[in-house]
Chain A
Amino acid sequence: MTIRMDLLLCGGTACRASGSEDIREALKKELARHKLENEIRIIETGCNGFCAQGPLMIVQPENIFYQKLTVDIIPHLVEEHFLKGRPVKKLFYKEPASEETIPTMEDIPFYSKQKLIVLKNRGVIDPENINEYIARDGYVGLSKALLEMTPEEIIQEVKLAGLRGRGGAGFPTGLKWEFARRAEGDVKYALCNADEGDPGAFMDRSVLEADPHAVLEGMIIAGKAIGAHQGYIYCRAEYPLAIKRLNIAIVQARDYGLLGKDILGSGHDFDVEIYQGAGAFVCGEETALMHSIEGKRGMPRPRPPFPAQQGLWKKPTVLNNVETYANIAQIMQNGGAWYASIGTEASKGTKVFALTGAVNNIGLVEVPMGISLREIIYEIGGGIPKKRKFKAVQLGGPSGGCVPEQYLDTPVDYESIIKVGAIMGSGGMIVMNDQTCMVDMARFFMDFIQDESCGKCTPCREGTMRMLEILKKITQGRGEPGDIELLEELSDMIKDSALCGLGQTAPNPVLSTLKYFREEYEAHIIDKRCPAKRCAALLHFEVDEGKCIKCGICFRHCPAGAIRWQKKETAFIMKDKCVQCLSCITNCPSDAIF
Chain B
Amino acid sequence: MAKLTIEDLKKIRESAKKGTALREGETNVKITVHMGTCGIAAGAREVMDVLLEEMAQTDRQDIRVVTAGCMGMCSSEPNVTVEMQDKDPVIYQHMDKNKMRQVFKRHVLLGQVQSDFALARG
Contact = CB atoms under 8 A, between A and B. Distances in A.
Contact of B48 (A39, A135, A147, A260): A39
B5 interface: yes
Given A4-B65, A135-B13, A147 B6 contact: yes
A136 interface: yes
A139 B6 CA distance: 10
B56 A256 contact: no
A172 interface: no
A259 to B, nearest CB: 10
A17 interface: no
A140 B48 CA distance: 37
Contacts of A265: 3, 5-6
B36 to A, nearest CB: 6
B105 interface: no
Contact of B20 (A35, A135, A140): A135
Interface stretch (A46-54, A79-87, A175-183, A450-458): A79-87
Contact of A264 (B9, B15, B56): B9
A309 B98 CA distance: 73
Contacts of B69: 84-86
A132 B9 contact: no
Interface string B38-52: 000000010011001
Contact of A131 (B16, B24, B34, B45): B16
A256 B35 contact: no
B19 A135 contact: yes
A256 B64 contact: no
B66 to A, nearest CB: 6
A32 to B, nearest CB: 15
A125 B68 contact: no
A48 to B, nearest CB: 13
Contacts of A60: 22-23
B19 A131 contact: yes
Contact of A255 (B1, B34, B65, B68): B1
Which of B3, B64, B65 gathers the greatest number of chain A CB atoms within 10 Å? B3
A8 B55 contact: no
B4 interface: yes
A38 B19 CA distance: 14
A5 interface: yes
Contact of A61 (B2, B36, B45, B64): B64
Interface in B62-91: 64-69
A121 B17 CA distance: 14
A135 B17 contact: yes
Given A2-B56, A83-B35, A143 B66 contact: no
Nearest to A264: B6
A187 interface: no
B23 to A, nearest CB: 5
A62 interface: yes
A346 B64 CA distance: 44
Given A134-B9, A257-B2, A39 B66 contact: no
Contacts of B12: 131, 134, 256
A3 B64 CA distance: 10
A346 to B, nearest CB: 33
Contacts of A139: 9
Interface in B96-118: none
A257 B22 contact: no
Contacts of B52: 1-2, 4, 38-39
Contact of A85 (B1, B16, B27, B67): B67
A257 B55 CA distance: 33
A260 B3 contact: yes
A136 B27 CA distance: 17
A318 to B, nearest CB: 26
B20 A132 contact: yes
A1 B16 contact: no
Interface of A: 1-6, 8, 35, 38-39, 60-62, 82-86, 124-125, 131-132, 134-137, 139-140, 143, 147, 255-258, 260, 262, 264-265
18 contacts: A1-B53, A4-B22, A4-B52, A4-B55, A35-B45, A39-B52, A84-B35, A85-B32, A85-B66, A85-B69, A132-B19, A134-B9, A143-B6, A143-B9, A256-B3, A262-B3, A264-B4, A264-B9
Given A125-B20, A131-B19, A264-B5, 17 more contacts: A1-B55, A3-B22, A4-B52, A4-B64, A6-B22, A39-B48, A39-B52, A60-B23, A61-B27, A62-B66, A84-B68, A84-B69, A131-B12, A131-B15, A135-B17, A147-B6, A265-B5
Interface of B: 1-6, 9, 12-13, 15-17, 19-20, 22-24, 27, 32, 34-36, 45, 48-49, 52-53, 55-56, 64-69
Shortest beta-carbon contacts, A-B, top 3: A257-B3, A85-B67, A135-B16
